[in-house]
Structure 1
Amino acid sequence: MLGYLALLTAFSALACARDVIVNLGYAQYRGQELSNGVAQWLGIRYAAPPVGPLRFSAPQDPEDETEIQNATQHGSMCIRTSRYPAPEGSAEDCLFLDVYAPAGATGASPRLLPVYVFIQGGGFSSNGNPYNNGTGLVQASDMNIVVVNFNYRVGPYGFLAGSEIVQGGSVNNGLKDQIKVLEWVQSHIKEFGGDPDHVVLGGDSAGGASVTLLLSAYGGRDDGLFHAAAAESQSFANMLTVDEAQYAYDNLVNRTGCTGAGDTLGCLRDVDIDTLQRENIVTPFPGTQRRPLYMYGPVIDDNLVPDYTYRMFQQGRFIKVPVIFGDVTNEGTKFVPENLSSLSAVQVWLQAQWPALTSEHFSRINEYYLQVVNSTQPYPNSTRYWRPVSDAYGEIRYVCPGIALSGAYADANVSNWNYRYAVQDPDDEASGLGVYHVVELNAIWGPENVYWTDTVGTEPPASYYTSNADIIPIMQGYWTSFIRSYDPNTYRYQGSPRWEEWSEDERIFIRTGETRMESVPGNQKERCEYLTSIGVELRQ
């Protein structure tokens, strides 16, 4: 019923829509001003189709269009990994963005508006939230911001690496797509009433990882593409060098029948998309026994990505702008198998995610997380190992990196804020999922405005429409305040507590009716100090 009402509301707004055209130079796009006071342009092409000779290449400028383009439907999602045939609604030609702005805002407006550019997650394997509706954020800002969403290449289309790619194409193209969007914003956002000198970058999960990678891109070189950043569940996965990633290229060449070609990259570019997608599968990292959750991702290329993320921030090689980092309470529950039945199985699974994990590392992880397994409450369909391993995975990949990043910014005397999102849904607590990975998207965007394509996401918890509905204006207040002023407090929701900057490990604890500042617990701080100390060893 709730989904039906949301669709009915959207349909009613569209029924009263008025066409509005923007001229971007290379093309004119016809969007719509809706009756809710928000104008939207969907499916704007920001780069040329990355097909044929542009497959595995850096994004190029879009071609000029002489006719007015309709911008009333979302562009295709980028093709995900391990899904054959390619899911409906996805295509290799996928470099599109959406813009949401207050109706009537233009480049001639008396005041240009702050811009929020959001990078969706999906493990660099899929576009996890391709069509989040920016209406809720625009309205929560009192019609004072412009929101940009976009799709970027994932899997081998965005992150295949190897010597042949370096010589004849480009690596880290998914990240380069993101930079292309930021450059597009600098050139064109004024046409929508946005201020190119006030751009806030946001992202969740792999999008949060992208935020950290763009903060440290080119060794922290500031090209003026954004002026503040907010990362939700910033993800520190296993990172490979170009040479280490060669195995994935070689395997794909072999599986697609390109081994005997004189030009294997040219052969891969000529492979039809159906054949390529059939072989777009996840395989184990070299030296491991099982497949990781995510195989493809940014590689260290000694240029855009100079080094491991931990080392970049430890060395102060990052852009010094106001930032938010943070996580949910139960980051790992959406990822860890429920049937892990022994310590050896746990070690094999963790090493599949971080192949550099040694027996010595695992011994400490066992001490911190798994020695309590016999007293751990099992949940339906799970072993006693599930929640302890979820805690370990969540802190290794998400929580401890966020704490370390806040520490790095504090050491650099740059304003930064950290959060722990702890809003409990009764059904999720009973199932054991708890406050799961990126569930806070529902509160930031509004539960009716979040679009999920992954198992990482779900339908919004039912309580976000009932007992937890009050958390939505609080989260939207903090987020839109940060977008508008680089400070989550300036325009925060009336009555919500002040969110103090990170200092002495102080972060905000967010829960319906209980939001307050808290100190990082001593035992979590101890665990994170150890996990951060081995971060570079784990290739994070």
Structure 2
Amino acid sequence: MTLLYLTAFVFLARLVASAQNLTVDLGYARYKGRGLSDGIAQWLGVRYAASPVGSLRFSAPQDPEAVDGVQEASQHGPLCIPTGDSPAPAGTSEDCLFLDVYAPSASKNSTGLPVFVWIQGGGFNTNSNANYNGTGLIQASGTGIVVVTFNYRVGPYGFLSGQEVLKGGSVNNGLKDQLKVLNWVQTHISKFGGDPKHVVIGGDSAGAASVTLLLSAYGGKDQGLFHAAAAESQSFAPMLTVNQSQFTYNNLVIRTGCASETDTLACLRNLDTASLQSENFNTPFPTAQKAPLYMYGPVLDGDLVLDYTYRLFHQGKFIKVPVIFGDDTNEGTIFVPKNTSSVSEADTFIQSQFPNISLVQLAKINNWYLTENQTRQFPHAKPYWRPAGNAYGEIRYICPGIDMSTVYSQAGVNSWNYHYDVQDPDAEASGDGVTHTVEANAIWGPQYVSGTPPSSYFTSNAPIVPVMQGYWTSFIKTFDPNPHRSLDSPEWKTWGVGNESYHRIWIRTNQTAMETVPTDQQERCKYLTSIGTDLQQ
């Protein structure tokens, strides 16, 4: 009996010690994480900034308030409220500035591990890749990395702009939330076993746009917040100046009944969330015919975002760290309406997204993408859906990634580019093809994303998962995708310069190999890059 009690006592003592070991003191709060049976520990719902409500609505993120006691870090924090949904969806809140940390259970007792900070996408209007689980990446790394994911403000909560906001609050707050996280990582990640001097940022879509904006933030001033970057489907949307975005502020003030108030910003801040959210929807840009997919987003503020992304990079105003850029074959298909039945409808869609596009530029694009011989028949789709998707995909995603790789290689910085072409049978049959950001399922592991992966990622395309995880975890650990790539994966060579440029890796299940960007795509991208600043990219 004595031995039984002793055994039980030792077991309980170990449980208590384990729980104490997973309690992290951040100064402003103590959070108790949870150790999982797979050797991974997680801390969910860790507050990284004060609640951005009341007087802090439309303001830069502030330090969290101190709280007493130990906080259970066992549930994700609420997501930030998206544009276009009223009432606000369940599981969302203005009080949304939380992050999650995933680490090997023994990492707190080890030397600092490389850190991967993931920035989710959503067009700066929603948190669309929320609550991804870092377990798959950590296991693929040989339990050799720490992963951080987080929410940031979107829509008007994160990106409302105008003179009143500039004077009485702050613009580009969603980007400032991201910087707040990176500063939090510098201060606290060592308490989770991470190395603040070895941080890799990554993201997809608007998260990848965020990567390019952080690389060029403050004109490329390196504050030591990260040391390499990976951008998946980097999105180059048009960016307005503060004055150009005044219409979004004015419209919101009018719709919410605040136009009669002397202090319209105070009126907006005093609205309850439901009243503000009922008027949170996209409207057309002043020079466009229809509302864009995403109206709110980063603006040129003369400080954090000094100029258009294309211009900053071509002027050399960017942080020089190893980078990955890349895209999917059919970037535009999920965005263009499937009932696009004519060139005029396709042009209206493109103009709605890029309102400064000229008729001469549209004609050039039409001759490349929107001719009758480019049309194909797909189920439940009109003939110009796929051609318009091809145009939009290259304008906004593919060609910017190609240009970024060129800029970095010309600067003498290691730059890798990928063309993700893993074909899912259902997506191919529908015409969607290899869609925007679908590679995230392979990078994280299909069981660890919050959306619904293509079913083939559990069957015929399952072999692509270790390939992508090998490249990504190697890059996270060494700033190079090759040293720890998976067995039998080909060497991923850099983009190259001069006559040896335009080298990227073509990724398809059991066929992955290096390729050179086709000359016709090079030609189209050179033109689209040349008009990028005209399109305010």
Indicate the TM-score class for this superposition, using the shorter chain for normalisation: over 0.9
Q: Secondary structure at the match of 2:34?
A: strand
Q: Secondary structure at the match of 1:490?
A: coil
1:83-108 deviation line (CA, Å, top 9, x unaligned): 000000000000000000000211x5
For residues 86-485 of structure 1, the aligned pairs below 5 Å read 86-106=88-108, 108-109=109-110, 111-371=111-371, 373-374=372-373, 376-452=375-451, 459-485=452-478
8 Å contact from structure 2 (residues 346, 385) kept in 1: no
* Alignment partner of 1:508 out of 499, 505, 508: 505
**Equivalence for 1:41:** 43
Q: Which amino acid aligns with 2:178?
A: Q
Q: CA deviation at 1:493?
A: 0.5
8 Å contact from structure 2 (residues 374, 387) kept in 1: no
Larger radius of gyration: 2
**What is the aligned-residue identity percentage?**
63
**Equivalence for 2:11:** none
Q: CA deviation at 1:18?
A: 5.9
Q: CA deviation at 1:231?
A: 0.3
Q: CA deviation at 1:471?
A: 0.4
Separation in 1 of the partners of 2:405 and 2:117?
21
Q: Secondary structure at the match of 1:175?
A: helix
Separation in 2 of the partners of 1:368 and 1:343?
12
Separation in 2 of the partners of 1:347 and 1:367?
12
Separation in 2 of the partners of 1:18 and 1:258?
54
8 Å contact from structure 1 (residues 374, 384) kept in 2: no
Separation in 2 of the partners of 1:196 and 1:287?
45
Separation in 1 of the partners of 2:315 and 2:283?
33
Separation in 2 of the partners of 1:18 and 1:370?
62
Separation in 1 of the partners of 2:142 and 2:346?
49
* Alignment partner of 1:57 out of 59, 68, 86: 59
8 Å contact from structure 2 (residues 330, 390) kept in 1: yes
**Equivalence for 1:10:** none
8 Å contact from structure 2 (residues 46, 99) kept in 1: yes
Separation in 2 of the partners of 1:427 and 1:39?
36
Separation in 2 of the partners of 1:422 and 1:461?
14
1:127-163 deviation line (CA, Å, top 9, x unaligned): 0011000000000000000000000000000000000
8 Å contact from structure 1 (residues 33, 40) kept in 2: yes
Separation in 2 of the partners of 1:493 and 1:339?
42
Q: CA deviation at 1:381?
A: 1.1
Q: Secondary structure at the match of 2:443?
A: helix
Separation in 1 of the partners of 2:198 and 2:259?
49
Q: CA deviation at 1:376?
A: 2.5
Q: Secondary structure at the match of 2:31?
A: strand
1:358-403 deviation line (CA, Å, top 9, x unaligned): 11001100111112x3452210111110111100000000000000
Separation in 2 of the partners of 1:200 and 1:219?
20
Q: Structure 2 vs 1, CA of residues 389 and 72 (structure 1 numbering), >3 Å: closer, same or farther?
A: same
For residues 491-502 of structure 1, the aligned pairs below 5 Å read 491-502=484-495
1:166-186 deviation line (CA, Å, top 9, x unaligned): 100000000000000000000
Separation in 2 of the partners of 1:282 and 1:154?
13
**Equivalence for 1:490:** 483
8 Å contact from structure 1 (residues 18, 34) kept in 2: no
Q: CA deviation at 1:249?
A: 0.3
**Equivalence for 1:76:** 78
**Equivalence for 1:24:** 26
8 Å contact from structure 2 (residues 233, 401) kept in 1: yes
Q: Which runs of 4+ in 1 moved over 6 A?
A: none
Count of residues in correspondence between the two structures: 517
Separation in 2 of the partners of 1:246 and 1:375?
39
**Equivalence for 2:4:** none
Task: Note the aligned Cα RMSD (angstroms).
Answer: 1.2
Separation in 2 of the partners of 1:321 and 1:185?
18
Q: Which amino acid aligns with 1:412?
A: A
Separation in 2 of the partners of 1:200 and 1:537?
32
Q: Secondary structure at the match of 1:99?
A: strand
Q: Secondary structure at the match of 1:49?
A: coil
1:236-255 deviation line (CA, Å, top 9, x unaligned): 00110000000000010111
Q: CA deviation at 1:344?
A: 1.6
Separation in 2 of the partners of 1:204 and 1:136?
17
Q: Secondary structure at the match of 2:51?
A: coil
Separation in 2 of the partners of 1:39 and 1:138?
10
Separation in 1 of the partners of 2:502 and 2:287?
37
Q: Which amino acid aligns with 2:395?
A: I
8 Å contact from structure 2 (residues 159, 171) kept in 1: yes
Name structure 1 gaps, 5 residues minimum.
1-14, 453-458
Name structure 2 gaps, 5 residues minimum.
1-14
Q: Structure 2 vs 1, CA of residues 375 and 204 (structure 1 numbering), >3 Å: closer, same or farther?
A: closer
Separation in 2 of the partners of 1:269 and 1:491?
50
